[in-house]
Structure 1
Amino acid sequence: MPHTDQQLAAIKTPGNILVIAGAGTGKTSTLVERCLYLIREGCAVDELLMVTFTEAAAAEMRHRLRTALAEEIVKSVGEDEERAKHFEEQLALMDHAQVSTLHSFCLELIRRHFHLLGLDPQIRVLDETQTRPIMYDVMEEVMVRHYDSSGRDAVRELVRRSGSPSDDQVRTLVMKLYRYQQARANPSGWLNEQRNRFSSSEPVEWREWLDSEIRNWADEWLPFLNAQQGNANAERAADALEQLPKSSITREHILEMTAKIRSADSGWPNRKKTLFRKPIADLFAEASFWNSICAIEKDGLDPLSVDWANVRTDTLTLLELLEEFGDEYRRVKREMGGIDFSDLEQLALELLLDEDNDVAVACRDHFEHVFVDEYQDINAAQDAIIAAVTRPTGDEREGNGFLVGDIKQSIYRFRLAEPELFRSHAQNCSRSSMEGTVLPLSENFRSHEAILSAVNDCFTTITADTGIDYGANEALSVGAREERSQYLIESDPDDLCRVEYRCLTEPEHKVIREGPFDESEEEDDLDRDAREARWIAQRLMRIRREETAIINRQTSENECVEWRDMVVLMRSPGPRIETYAREFHRMGVPLQAKRPGFFDALEVMDQVNLLRILDNPRQDIPLLAVLRSPIGGFTVDELAEIRHTKRRILFWELLGEFHRNHSEEKEPILQSAWRKVDAFLTQFNEWRELVRHASLSYTLEVVIEGSHYERLLEGGIRSSEKRANLDKLLDLTRQFDPYQRQGLHRFLQFVDAQLEKGKDLDSAPPATANAVRLMSIHQSKGMEFPMVVLAGTGTEFNLRDLYEQVLFDERLGLCPKINDPNNETRYPSLPFWVAQRREKKLLLEEEMRLLYVAMTRARNYLIMTGSRRRTAPKLLKALTEKNAMGSPYKAGSMQDWITDWLWKLSAAEMEAGAGRNGFFRWEIGEPDWEQSSESGEDSPQSREVSKTDLEHIQRMLEWQYDWKDATREIAKTNVSELRGRAREAAEESVQQFGRSPFVAQPKQPDCSDRLTASEIGNAHHAFLELMELIPGQTALDLKNAAMQFRDLGLLEDRQIQALDFGRLARFWYTDVGQWVVAHHKNVHRELPFTTRFTRAELADLGIMLDGRAGDDDFIVVQGVVDLAVILDDEIRILDHKTDHFSRKSLKFKVADYAPQLQLYASALERIYRRKVTHAWLHFMTIGKTVDVISD
């Protein structure tokens, strides 16, 4: 297909270019074609810098460019040999081309110039799951340092005034503020700016902002007030705003204006006050705020000065704490030999902006052209990096930046993306050609014209008066109309609707239906999600039954839609996946969805909720969740009866009262409830006592075993998957064992942080089976589907971030709430109030962009659904009376925008609750259920269970083996299991003294698909087993050897990426390493053994066993020694460890691993009948070797 005029302009226009590429406009192919155009003009591939933000996108770009070069070679051979040779050379250079993520480019820059930064050239990049526990540890050290200080401490005062019973709020705020600071182009400069601002004795800047912000506020309200037709009160309020001066607004002006607005909030027409006041109610509340900060108090004090005095000291303390945390965190990372992703950006900037070196000049000279994809998702630090390596237009050489993006598809603000940077750059280029050229791509090659028309019409309506431009340059049109005529509306029959909207309302009456739903249900008992899921399944079933046609992308021919062609998109599907799976199954519609995140899995939630109440039982939600789970085993009726005995107290207190006062109950349900409460409280108290002294992982093992939870899973579906989740949870808790008393609290902090940042960004489920796919809008970014169902549009927006104690604003900086010292209340400061309103707009603009991304994924059909809590008559009456929503910033859900669009599209049909506009139809009302004849399974049949059967089952469940204690001891085990026993024994022996010195330092929690700490250790052991023991090997030698092992199929790429060749090489230059190399002929690697030990012998090694077996009974132990040097008169053992920990924790690590090596030594002495003289532990992270026998 030939390029369009817009694409040709983007391919050939010289200089700095900003391409605004709408959805489906072929931006990636245009970017690759521009690369080919430049290569044809003589540019070399290794002179191009192409960066994007994900590994997948970088791999796709690299693949497309490589393929395009190969195609150019094929075309040129036989016709232009010189041209063919040129492209062959470029293809050969592809391995050296800088086509990568921005972080990969930064890492390459850092490793190339490590000496300028004083870094190890083999420094490792730590991901978030590795750095988060380190941040917690550093935060703990910083806070403890302040708590241990004598005298009055500002940090202690800050915590006291935070209003929280713990310092969690302050800790979380510091770490959140640190991440925000590190995304700035100049973090230290930003910190100094904030410190200087709050060092002033008077709120000078606040007073300066007063004039501009009141003017901005008035300008925002005036258009809305003037649009309130027939509302005299709104007109009076508008007059008050119009009388404000255009500049130099004084306190008196503001007080006069607020008085007039208060006056306008009276004299409402009879029976119309709610109708007229509700749309402008926020105006009166906001006017009261302006009055409160301008009215001089009775004692003559200025409210702004009072607020400043209340907030200034705490904010300066917070900034000092931030600086202290940042310094300590950087020190710990350097000690570990690691850096995080923000370090990659900041260290690259340090190199590029340092005037004492020529790194930036070298980059600008080397890279003839710089390409940036997805530029709308950039942050300030990343933008500064791009600017440093790109030649400006005014340079003596031509500008060389090619930035591609679309602000309408920027949906990653939670990753600190700043779409305002894209908008600012576009505005600068539009104002001056010296900044560059803006080129639009608006011809869409994905979607049917009906869908594009719906998108254009919807967004023209809802983006009016917002920060999102949707004009002629942004509106999408069908690309290549002649070649793609089947995508035009005129090609469709008149009765075909390609866009639907269905708003499902609450039922007016209870209707009991039976049939396709496996069981009788009261329809209004269905929750909103279930009702919507069922309607979607029914609609898709009908579409499939009717053999609806879609257009094949490759052949352009019509074909019948398959399940795999359909996708359901949602804002946050995680909590709803199980509901959709159940309802789709009932309707016989196959559904493929990635299961909820690890912490959303029911079996994990049960255990985490239990840990939450072990930490603090005075939490109703997790407590009730545990009681309803298999751990508690309570029924809903039993919990309701317990609550009925006393209301308005915490459920934890209620359990105690119920247990004390209702032991003699005669009513069966209360008897059953009391027995369960008695059993639960007894067991809970044992567990809570245990968690105070034992390790977190051991406590959780006891809980799972004691509650028979794992056995209960065996009777359900996906039991193996659920057991694997429990094992993974146990692995995670083991990483927090070293914190001993604070392990539980820190683990829960880690879980909360994972849940907070969990944006459902895992890879989307592939179309591997013929099933409907369910995924999030974020997962669908960059994808397209023949039929899209956008579900859950009625879900309310999450605005929780607006109510934090401190907001961060690009212009205003830190914006804290005021802590009133007199009555311990909090209220917004002037900058907080301004930042909160601005942040709300930015959040809602991101939700608009999510709606745009979702709608533009569809190729052939688009169906949008949502649910309302009202019945249809009440909802339609409200929609008819409101005369459209007004400001799009007043929306509470995507559904509000859609219904506002509908009102403007067909207001006359709104009262009827249904309408059609050509290719688009919509309906608001109750779901219209139909019988399903294609359900995959029959309804389950229940049968009555006899009393005899129940008694037999009860006896079987209660039966216990008389020698149960003896069965707990194993007859055969491995060294790792016994090492765990040694650790538990050590913990128990020092319970009364607090933290055990024998508990391992934490591994890095990993909830991702990356290599786990265990897998990284296995990778090192695999390489150490394979490598040849030759003196003088460098890190490069070892890396080349690893590549050879990979080519032989002995190592995987991801294992090689995890290997630390620098530290591996350094070990073999130590005394121990050189001794081993010198005796390489006597080296035995991965040496297996099997031997027997009595209980007494294991006890001598610090390994205590449970059970009733006698001391003379033995256990068979199997193990594998990493490396043993077996000489005629002695044996020496070496074991490498890859754990991450600080040097001060070395003695704990040695104590943790010593029983393992002592067991190795004892086993080899028995087998080979010679003395083990040395047993070395080498810790690669800190480069330290310890002999657990001789030292």
Structure 2
Amino acid sequence: MTADHQASVLQRRASDPTASAWVNANAGSGKTHVLVDRLIRLMLTGTNPSRILCLTFTRAAAAEMSTRLFDRLSAWIAFSDEELEQDLRQIGLNNFGPDIFKEARRLFTSALETPGGLKIQTIHAFCERLLQLFPVEAGIVPHFSVMDDRAAREVLRAARQDVLRKAKNDPSGKLSAALAEVVRHARADDFDDLLDGILSERANLDFCLGGEANIERAVQDLRRRLSLTPEEDAASTRVALALDQLECRRLIECLKIGTAKDCERGAALAKVLTSGKSNLEELREFYLTGEDQPRKLSGIATKAVLMAHPWIENFITSEQQRLMQGLGKLADLERVTATSSLLTLATAIVQAFEEEKRRRGAYDFDDLIIRTCRLLAERPEAAWVLYKLDGGIEHILLDEAQDTSPAQWEIVRALTTEFFSGRGVRGEPDRTLFAVGDRKQSIYSFQGADPDIFELVHDDFRDRIRAAGQTFNDVDFMVSFRSTAAILQAVDAVFHESCVARQGLDGRSAKQLHHEPNRRDKPGTVEIWPLIEPEDRVEDQPWQAPVDREPANSPRRKLARLIATKVKSWIGARMLAALNRPVQPGDILILVRVRNSFFDALIRELRKAGIPVAGADRLKLMESIAILDMLALARFCLLEDDDYSLACLLKSPLLAMPLSEGELFEIAWRREAHSLWEMLQQSTAPRCIAAVQRLSTWKAYARTARPYEFFAGVLGQTRGKILSRLGSEAKDALEAFLGAALDYERDHTSSLQGFVHWFLSGDAEIKRDMEQASTEVRIMTVHGAKGLEAPIVIMPDTVSMPDGRTQSSLMMIGEATTGTKMPLWALPKRFASPGIASLKAAQRDDQSYEYRRLLYVAMTRARDELYVCGYRGRNDPADECWYNLVTSALLPEMRQTEDGSVWRLGDDPVFVREAPVVEMEKIEIPAWVLRAPEAEPGFSLWSAPSHLGDVSSFPQVNSDRQQGLQRGASIHRILQLLPNVPPAKRRDFVMGMIIKAGHDETAALRLLALTERSDLRDVFSTGGLSEIPVVGWIKELGRTISGRIDRLIFRQDEIVIVDYKTDRDWPAAPEFIKRSYRLQMAAYRAALRGMHSGTAVRCAILWTAAPLFMEIPDFLLEETLHHKTVAPA
């Protein structure tokens, strides 16, 4: 049996709708394909689509699955019977009844018309829907809204301040005592981090405390895990540490007759005895080292004393062990007390947080999971809810199961409570569970994922399903449809069972790790480049460069330059053999472990080399130069004496002519008591005069405009220049910034000063959609690249390791059987007990295991070529770093290139000049092909109104333009349908359509802002008409136009033509509207005036990105129509 045939057999077994299945899928083995197959086969068996629940890890995954499903079902409609039979056989159908083809073609309509749509969604979306259906049973506010992360952080911060204020105002209260205990152990700069840390584990706190803040139970659990008995306390432990007076005096006497050093040690021990109490610090110093390890015997007594008194050796050893044991228990008791106080504070803050959310009628994303878990597993109403759901869900499909957290698993368990209760015995079809995942790709421990729990849940479901007499299939997908044979050979070698990298990939039952290539005949390459070594230190001249600037010859910057040089030499010059075309920027994906200075240096070097690069995959808005410039403008408009903000503005692309360093210095250095603005106004330099004019206009605008209106107006004039100077990532940052302004105006009293304060108090971060960067080099973290792939992958960050020194003092201790994690404040300055040492060792092991799983994910992103490189510091790289793990496994199988620069596995690169050239037959093109045809008599020219105007002004179609066209089409479609949607349902409609189209929520917020404006009420009322075709002879143009009017509004004495424009840039006034747009509107107006003589016809453009409704005066349209420049028809 060939590998491909074996893969097909396993895929059919996994997609069998009559059996539950658990699929362990190697990277690139087609799990999404099988999920879609199973969905289709379930529907073909007669299952109502509304009774299938498919849970995915991300919205992007849900959208991709829905797209694949509908694409396949829609294609079946046009298939012939033979084609359809072949497709059905491929997914596992063998018996074809007379109605099977009819039923298959009907699936598209059935899925499309399912009430509420197919349930292919994230678990958060499912939980939100469930809580909206059962708010009373869940004990929450009906019709609640979901807060975004920023709003949740604001409410949590306010709740924290409220609890700390209560603790301060009640010195004798429980909160005050808890705060005092926490402050006793936490440094001032650690306190906020500590509270933030434990509050970020709110889901775990709720899970392990049973939702009732049962701190005492948690304390007892901590004591058990630290091997502390209920009777042990600090007092009894100190008593147990009391010295054996008789034996100690014997030791002192023996030391007195020794050397001077012996006498000194004896005097120290005597001091402890005569203190009248157990002085633990002095005793610790006597028996232990500064690292709390037993002192060598020679450090307590000389060899002569030990030989003369043999009993001393055993006595000292036993005392050291007893002391270490006692000090460990005292430290652990202190840890438990400190943790209890921290939990007291945390639960009080969480309670205040919950009360405020309930008052607002809003909950955060954690609540969706926590409250659904409570509803289905704990509340008395759970049986009723499950009964109502029981008939509504018959099959559950779970994607990326290895990334599911314990709380999410509890939800799945609750949903399947009645699935395996012997229903099939009564003649009804079995309900099934399908889960697909891969332990090797479990890399989201910071979100609660645990690969060990993944395996335990597998065992639990397997036993339950088989105990019910139903079929449970364990299926392993080994065939990779993504990577070439060379890459899979490298992966198998690095993670061979004899290699260190394998540790952490295997579970309780180690399986053979093997990847079978589907693309075995395609060329592939794996290369290892030598590490970049540091050069000898050179004393920097401090006046030559800023002290925090990394030297140009640093290993990081040298590697960044090397990669930029290599990529530059590949693009257009080297063949991507598997695709038989030259390498393009979009083929390249560069993966790093963390975002650091190298990440930024690499982006800079690629841009310097002129290579299209998508920028950072995650962008902190407060680190974006574009956003800092916008904030500087706002600060200056609010306070013109803010010299620093003005200086930033004068150097920014917000000005048409930014000042040079010399010009800025000229007006700044001699200003003395004057402000920079005053000096700028006095300057006669042309750039300064232009800056004063523009800034004065914006200052006046800022006095009356809302924050969104102000920033949108500024960007309408400057967006193009900002993007040309700062790159494409500035576009995403500015989009998010405008979205933040809309959010602020929705929830706060609108003011520019208030917005600036609100924005600066947050920590906004956006995740950019790197899947859309199809024409640019992508640089991402491995976590961000999960689920993506690329023909060429470069791994440059291969030497850095997880830094154990930066581990938080707040440890989350996992429960082996349930995945519950209990917080423990480790108090690192206290004595390290064996229990703490063991927990820290386990934590380090878990971190190392996930580090290796990250390596697996990184290597398996590559389709055709993989390049491993790195840089090192002054110290040697760790033996277990990625670079050493890869080189130790691969170098024996690789060959060195002729110049000795790299080691290579697989095929050699092929350059364009070496590629075989196909000679094409030359033909002569007749002259008439290139000549525009003359107009035939008796026929008029036809034109689309949107294509009138000078043809040279039409935008060139590129990838950004194409994305803009797609976005525009989506928004036009939404606005076309919106008037027919009841106002109460418009928000859900717009959000759903925007997300389905693959756009971010900012676009939805803008559209909603439009619909809520009172001056635009009749634009979106049911009285107008959308997408109205219009055809008419325009005398002034000498041609017939044929087009569609976006929106036509009929009023008592006039007709209003509204055209939707989705341009990123919009004019400040009608006279600045593009001439082609004005000509389009003038043509529409002329056509309708010919049909509706005597009725006034007005025109307006609705700029959706602003949002701005701009009427065009009649005189401007007339002038445009009579002084036209018309493109050839």
Q: Distance in 1 between matches of 2:50 and 2:603?
A: 49
- Residue 781 of structure 1 and its aligned partner are, at CA, apart by 2.0
2:346 match: secondary structure: helix
Rate the CA distance shift 1:797–1:117 in 2: closer, same or farther, 3 A: closer
> Residue 6 of structure 1 aligns with which residue?
10
Q: Distance in 2 between matches of 1:523 and 1:338?
A: 46
> Residue 501 of structure 2 aligns with which residue?
463
CA shift digits 1:727-764 (9 cap, x unpaired) = 8898899989999999999976633xx5xxx6x74311
- Residue 13 of structure 1 and its aligned partner are, at CA, apart by 7.7
Aligned residues of 1:507 and 1:523 also touching (Cα < 8 A): no
2:594 match: secondary structure: coil
- Residue 306 of structure 1 and its aligned partner are, at CA, apart by 2.3
Which residue type is aligned with residue 125 of structure 1? V
> Which of 814, 823, 827 matches 1:814?
823
- Residue 46 of structure 1 and its aligned partner are, at CA, apart by 2.1
CA shift digits 1:690-745 (9 cap, x unpaired) = xxxxx9x999xxxxxxxxxx99x989924996998988898899989999999999
User: Does residue 561 of the first structure (1) align with residue 583 of the second (2)?
Assistant: yes
- Residue 23 of structure 1 and its aligned partner are, at CA, apart by 0.6
Which residue type is aligned with residue 478 of structure 1? E
CA shift digits 1:783-840 (9 cap, x unpaired) = 2211111222234435576233454544672211338xxxxx5555665544333233
Rate the CA distance shift 1:40–1:736 in 2: closer, same or farther, 3 A: closer
> Residue 784 of structure 1 aligns with which residue?
789
Q: Distance in 1 between matches of 2:740 and 2:859?
A: 38
Identify which range, 366-375 or 188-197, moves more after superposition: 188-197
> Residue 856 of structure 1 aligns with which residue?
860
> Which of 52, 58, 63 matches 1:54?
58
- Residue 534 of structure 1 and its aligned partner are, at CA, apart by 1.3
How does the TM-score come out when normalised to structure 1?
0.55
2:396 match: secondary structure: strand
Q: Distance in 1 between matches of 2:180 and 2:44?
A: 64
2:483 match: secondary structure: coil
Note the 1:569-968 alignment, pairs <5 A.
Answer: 569-573=591-595, 576=598, 578-594=600-616, 596-602=619-625, 604=627, 717-718=725-726, 750-751=762-763, 754=764, 761-764=767-770, 766-769=772-775, 771-797=776-802, 799=804, 802-810=807-815, 813-818=822-827, 826=830, 832-870=836-874, 885=879, 888=880, 891=881, 894-901=882-889, 916=903, 918-919=905-906
- Residue 867 of structure 1 and its aligned partner are, at CA, apart by 0.7
Note the 1:373-384 alignment, pairs <5 A.
Answer: 373-384=399-410
User: Does residue 414 of the first structure (1) align with residue 414 of the second (2)?
Assistant: no
> Residue 330 of structure 1 aligns with which residue?
354
Rate the CA distance shift 1:157–1:19 in 2: closer, same or farther, 3 A: closer
> Residue 158 of structure 2 aligns with which residue?
137
Larger radius of gyration: 2
Q: Distance in 2 between matches of 1:739 and 1:181?
A: 34
CA shift digits 1:152-207 (9 cap, x unpaired) = 6643662574369997855554454344242578454176565224269x945522
Note the 1:463-482 alignment, pairs <5 A.
Answer: 463-466=501-504, 468=506, 473=511, 475-480=513-518
Which residue type is aligned with residue 100 of structure 2? R
User: Does residue 446 of the first structure (1) align with residue 482 of the second (2)?
Assistant: yes
User: Does residue 1020 of the first structure (1) align with residue 1012 of the second (2)?
Assistant: yes
> Residue 321 of structure 1 aligns with which residue?
345
> Residue 359 of structure 1 aligns with which residue?
385
Rate the CA distance shift 1:1025–1:611 in 2: closer, same or farther, 3 A: closer
Which residue type is aligned with residue 459 of structure 1? F
How does the TM-score come out when normalised to structure 2?
0.57
Q: Distance in 2 between matches of 1:1019 and 1:156?
A: 53
Which residue type is aligned with residue 1013 of structure 2? H
Which residue type is aligned with residue 793 of structure 2? V
CA shift digits 1:1132-1178 (9 cap, x unpaired) = xxxxxxxxxxxxxxxxxxxxxxxxxxxxxxxxxxxxxxxxxxxxxxx
Unaligned runs of 5+ in 1: 211-254, 267-289, 513-521, 553-557, 613-624, 634-670, 684-694, 700-709, 820-824, 923-1006, 1030-1040, 1050-1080, 1087-1191
Which residue type is aligned with residue 378 of structure 1? T
Aligned residues of 2:53 and 2:119 also touching (Cα < 8 A): yes
Aligned residues of 1:499 and 1:920 also touching (Cα < 8 A): no
CA shift digits 1:338-394 (9 cap, x unpaired) = 222222223323332345433224434432221000111111111111111225785
Q: Distance in 1 between matches of 2:318 and 2:800?
A: 35
Q: Distance in 1 between matches of 2:363 and 2:1014?
A: 25
Which residue type is aligned with residue 587 of structure 1? A
> Residue 215 of structure 1 aligns with which residue?
none
User: Does residue 345 of the first structure (1) align with residue 369 of the second (2)?
Assistant: yes
Note the 1:75-86 alignment, pairs <5 A.
Answer: 75=80, 82-86=99-103
Which residue type is aligned with residue 207 of structure 1? S
1:28 match: secondary structure: helix
> Residue 424 of structure 1 aligns with which residue?
456
Q: Distance in 2 between matches of 1:349 and 1:1048?
A: 47
Q: Distance in 1 between matches of 2:368 and 2:353?
A: 15
Rate the CA distance shift 1:120–1:53 in 2: closer, same or farther, 3 A: same
> Residue 982 of structure 2 aligns with which residue?
none
2:482 match: secondary structure: coil
> Which of 147, 151, 163 matches 2:168?
147
Identify which range, 1012-1021 or 127-136, moves more after superposition: 1012-1021
> Residue 244 of structure 1 aligns with which residue?
none
- Residue 133 of structure 1 and its aligned partner are, at CA, apart by 0.8
Rate the CA distance shift 1:560–1:53 in 2: closer, same or farther, 3 A: same
Which residue type is aligned with residue 369 of structure 1? H
Which residue type is aligned with residue 818 of structure 1? L
CA shift digits 1:999-1048 (9 cap, x unpaired) = xxxxxxxx98546988755543369925999xxxxxxxxxxx8xx99987
Rate the CA distance shift 1:568–1:265 in 2: closer, same or farther, 3 A: farther
CA shift digits 1:557-596 (9 cap, x unpaired) = x333223322222233475565334322443433333574
Q: Distance in 1 between matches of 2:349 and 2:204?
A: 16
Note the 1:6-405 alignment, pairs <5 A.
Answer: 6-12=10-16, 14-73=18-77, 74-75=79-80, 82-94=99-111, 95-96=114-115, 97-151=118-172, 154-155=175-176, 158=179, 161-162=182-183, 169-170=190-191, 173-183=194-204, 186=207, 188-189=209-210, 194-198=215-219, 203=223, 205-207=225-227, 295-296=322-323, 302-353=326-377, 354=379, 356=381, 357-390=383-416, 395-397=421-423, 398=430, 400-405=432-437
Rate the CA distance shift 1:44–1:913 in 2: closer, same or farther, 3 A: same
**Percent identity of the aligned residues?**
21
- Residue 505 of structure 1 and its aligned partner are, at CA, apart by 1.6
Rate the CA distance shift 1:52–1:561 in 2: closer, same or farther, 3 A: same
Q: Distance in 1 between matches of 2:431 and 2:205?
A: 25
- Residue 536 of structure 1 and its aligned partner are, at CA, apart by 1.1
Rate the CA distance shift 1:196–1:125 in 2: closer, same or farther, 3 A: same
> Residue 1145 of structure 1 aligns with which residue?
none
Which residue type is aligned with residue 409 of structure 1? Q
Q: Distance in 2 between matches of 1:292 and 1:1046?
A: 93
Which residue type is aligned with residue 420 of structure 1? D
Aligned residues of 1:564 and 1:772 also touching (Cα < 8 A): yes
Identify which range, 600-609 or 846-855, moves more after superposition: 600-609
- Residue 294 of structure 1 and its aligned partner are, at CA, apart by 5.6
Rate the CA distance shift 1:899–1:815 in 2: closer, same or farther, 3 A: farther
Note the 1:1086-1105 alignment, pairs <5 A.
Answer: none
- Residue 145 of structure 1 and its aligned partner are, at CA, apart by 1.9
User: How many corresponding residue pairs?
Assistant: 776
Rate the CA distance shift 1:675–1:147 in 2: closer, same or farther, 3 A: farther
CA shift digits 1:942-968 (9 cap, x unpaired) = xxxxxxxxxxxxxxxxxxxxxxxxxxx
1:530 match: secondary structure: helix
User: Does residue 539 of the first structure (1) align with residue 576 of the second (2)?
Assistant: no
